[in-house]
Amino acid sequence: MCLRLPLFLLLFFAALSADTVTVDSGDELHGEVVKIEGGKLFLKTGYAGTIQIDWTKVTDLKTASAYTVEVETGRRYTGAVSRQGDQLAVQVEDVQVTVETPRVVSVTRADANAEPPGFWKTLKGSIGVGYSLTRGNSRQTTSSLASEGTYRSEAYALHGDLNSIFSRQQDSQSTSRHALNGRIDRYLGERAFAFGLTGFERNDRQKLDLRSRFGGGFGWKIKQRPKVQFDLLGGFTATNEQFRADDGERLPRNTTGEGLFGFEWKSTQFRGMTLTTRLTAHPNVVQKGRYRIEYDSSVRIPLISGLTWSWSLFDRYDSQPPREDVLHNDYGLVSNFGFAF
């Protein structure tokens, strides 16, 4: 009896000091909320280690420590957190801030003595490489490099991606392709944002020596949830192109203007599998009847310890390429092995 009383008191005070999570079945779980990310709540317990709970199944949440809550606009609130139904309350000093739970992107444990996270800690993305060798009469080698990253702050977001395919075949010209894109979004409200972009592309199959573009426009967040993001984009770009002749001589540069209309979609599925799609149309405002379409899609599957396996599909269409002997359409499928950060 003497041993049972201290044990009972220990469990009682542990439950009082622990975070409490209530799921839709009515069960209460006690432990330490590590973070909420990708639609999952990570709860560290003393009896089952760290468990993952579907965030949509959580009906009530009460925390004893301070947490940093990031919403879809990039704004962050730090304080004790509680949830009741579709509302998440954050006690920021003497003010209680309430946000709708579907707007919550992530929740991480806050350290009162720690400085705000810097650029590299906030940056999220992936990098991967691939290689293939075809023997026999063709003797073709193909290697690829793909990388993408996103940085979010309370006022703006930075996006960037790099895709390169190095393809060589004996007694044949190179058919490599390289593309580098960057975009900055400036939040104007909960859903609206203005953006500026730049891009550089080289494509040997289309005899494109370099296409560079600079522009901007406005976007609208149709959906921004922990598992799904969907943005509409509209704007204008100034484009400079230079193509090559068969003998490698560079043709005169062509400077023109293009509209930009499209969307970007990203979804996190079962076990962290990520699907992304970007489709944009570029009607030429100088050359009548010419337009380009760019399509990029990828699937990234997490393996172990941050390692990933991904498939990427790209398609580039030009209705009126400057050279008649150039294909209107160039597309490809690339597989890469890499890691996410």
| pLDDT at 153 > cutoff 60 | yes
Give me the long-range contacts of 143-148 (CB less than 8 A, separation at least 24).
144/334, 144/335, 144/336, 145/336, 146/310, 146/312, 146/334, 146/336, 146/338
Q: What is the mean pLDDT of residues 117-130?
A: 81
pLDDT digits (tens, 9 = 90+) for 4-57: 444 444 344 444 447 888 888 888 888 888 888 777 888 888 777 888 888 778
pLDDT digits (tens, 9 = 90+) for 56-74: 788 888 887 788 888 776 6
Higher pLDDT, 136 or 334: 334
Rounded distance between C-alpha atoms, residue 327 and residue 341, angstroms: 37
Helix (H, G, I), strand (E, B) or coil at 145: strand
- Percentage of residues of the chain with pLDDT beyond 70: 88
The CATH number fitting domain 121-340, selected from 3.40.109.10, 2.40.160.40, 1.20.120.330, 2.60.120.10: 2.40.160.40
| pLDDT at 273 > cutoff 80 | yes
What pairs with residue 259 in β-bridges? 236
In which residue ranges of the chain is CATH 2.40.160.40 found?
121-340
| pLDDT at 86 > cutoff 70 | yes
What the block records as the tokens of 35 is 């973070």
Question: Looking at residue 93, what is its pLDDT?
Answer: 79
Question: Looking at residue 134, what is its pLDDT?
Answer: 57
How buried is 234 (Cβ within 10 angstroms: 0-12 exposed, 13-18 middle, 19+ buried)?
A: middle
pLDDT digits (tens, 9 = 90+) for 175-190: 788 999 999 999 888 7
pLDDT digits (tens, 9 = 90+) for 195-217: 999 999 998 888 888 999 999 99
In one-letter notation, the amino acid at residue 33 is V
